Amino acid sequence: MEITSKMVRELRDITGAGVMDCKTALVESKGDMERAKEMLRKKGIDIARKKSSREVKDGSIFSYVHFNGRVGVLLELNCETDFVARTEAFKTLGKEITLQIAAMSPEYISPEDVSSERIAEEKEIYREQMKKEGKASNIMEKIIEGKLRKFYEEVCLLEQKYIKDDSKKIKDLINETIAKVGENIVVGRFTRYELNKG
């Protein structure tokens, strides 16, 4: 199948990946747009993994206040250089993450940030629920692990499904931007304010 410049441009518009990366993905997927998108996503994850150990010393503070003035978010998003901090891709990512925080109210950045006490509490709640349901103890641990993954998807920003595209998580969105800009990007911290919520 012939890979046209229109196909390359379309894939580039969707993914934001480089022209050559898009062309290579389309050639390797024999023109299958969905497979090419998936290949570029995996490549982005690999790039992000390689860059994850690099130190982030720059970045930007992003803010969002909902139109009714009842919810507000402050986000510190870090990258390696001020050059990347000024790019449109980085700014767009910052805006998208503040919208996510406003809408989904995460409590933590990642599962590693959840205290062992909180995890123990959650596991105890699940155990009690399963005892009431009469579940056998030999399958309880597997069920608990599954429920814990679901819990992380609700309370951890990086594990949450992206509100504009639930086929990807926020960590995927970050990895895609890392692949575009060629630098490590890390969520430093965030605060979500909601009127009369304390």
- 158 closest CA partner among 57, 45, 53, 59: 45
Q: Which residue has the higher pLDDT, 65 or 1?
A: 65
Quote the mean pLDDT of the chain.
88
d(CA 145, CA 130): 13
pLDDT digit string, tens, across residues 144-178 = 889 999 999 999 999 999 999 999 999 999 999 98
Confidence of residue 52 (pLDDT cuts 50, 70, 90): low
Q: Which pLDDT score is estimated for 57?
A: 83
- Helix, strand, coil % over all residues of the chain, rounded to 5: 60, 20, 25
Q: Which pLDDT score is estimated for 26?
A: 86
**How confident is the model over 28-40, as a mean pLDDT?**
84
d(CA 143, CA 123): 10
d(CA 65, CA 73): 6
Q: 60 pLDDT exceeds 90? A: yes
Q: 51 pLDDT exceeds 60? A: no
